[in-house]
Chain A
Amino acid sequence: EAGVAQSPRYKIIEKRQSVAFWCNPISGHATLYWYQQILGQGPKLLIQFQNNGVVDDSQLPKDRFSAERLKGVDSTLKIQPAKLEDSAVYLCASTAHIRLASGNEQFFGPGTRLTVL
C-alpha cells in the first residue's frame, strides 16, 4: 500500500514570496490533515479535511495560509506572503473514516521542509 506522498521535499524562499505544498493521501482515506512542525517542537495541526470539507481550521493563520482539497483526494497548502517564522516542516497525514469507539491512527508523509530567508 502506497503511503502519503508530499512534494516538494525541500523549499527555500525569501520572505514575502509565495509557496505551495502538495499532498496525496493514502488511497481511500477520507480525512486529511496538515501539520506545522517548527524545529524542536511537536507537530501542530493547521487544518483538517473530511473528504473535501473543512472540519477544523481554528489554528490556521488565515491571513496568509490557505488550503484546499477540491476533489476530496489531493490537497494543497499555500502560504502567501511567507514570513520568517513560517520556516518549519509541513506534514500531511491521512486516516480512514473513524470507526465507532475507535481512535484514529494517522499516517504521515515525509514532510516538506520550508526555509524562509
Chain B
Amino acid sequence: AQKVTQAQTEISVVEKEDVTLDCVYETRDTTYYLFWYKQPPSGELVFLIRRNSFDEQNEISGRYSWNFQKSTSSFNFTITASQVVDSAVYFCALSEARITGGGNKLTFGTGTQLKVEL
C-alpha cells in the first residue's frame, strides 16, 4: 500500500527565513509520481510540482526548490526567503503510474501547516 508521511505538523518562521518541508513516502511500485500541493486558507488545493520516479534531478522554480532522493524515499520542499503569502498547509502526495487511461488517485500526507510571520 502507498503511504506518505509528513512528520512536521506545523512550522513557524519569520519572514525571509528559509524553510524546508519534509516528505517521506512508501510504495512498492517502481514507477510513480510525487506531487506537492498548497492549500491556502481559502481551501482550494493548488498544484505546485510533479516529479516522476525516474527523474531525480532537483528542481528550482523561483523561491521554491525540491529535493527528490529515491535512496531515502524523500521528496522535500524548500522555500527560500519565505513571505507571509506562503502561509498555508502544504501537502505531499503520491500516485502510481498506470498506462491505461483514467488518471490515478493521489495518496496524500497529513500536511504541514506553515506560518510565516513578520
Interface residues of A (CB under 8 A from B): 30-31, 33, 40-45, 48, 50, 55-56, 89, 91, 93, 95-98, 100-101, 103-111, 113
A48 with B102, Cβ < 8 A, contacts A101-B97, A103-B33, A103-B97 known: yes
Count A-B pairs with CB separation below 8 Å.
78
Interface of chain B, main secondary structure: loop
- Chain A residues with CB below 8 A from B104, complex form: 98, 103-104
Asked if residues A111 and B43 are in contact (CB atoms below 8 Å), the reply is yes
The tally of residues in B whose CB lies under 8 Å from a CB in A reads 29
Whole-angstrom distance from the CB of B51 to the nearest CB of chain A? Answer: 8
Contacts of B93 in A (CB 8 A): 42
Chain B residues within 8 Å of A, Cβ to Cβ: 4, 33, 35, 37, 42-47, 50, 52, 91, 93, 95, 97-106, 108-111
Bound form: Cα–Cα A50–B52 in Å: 23
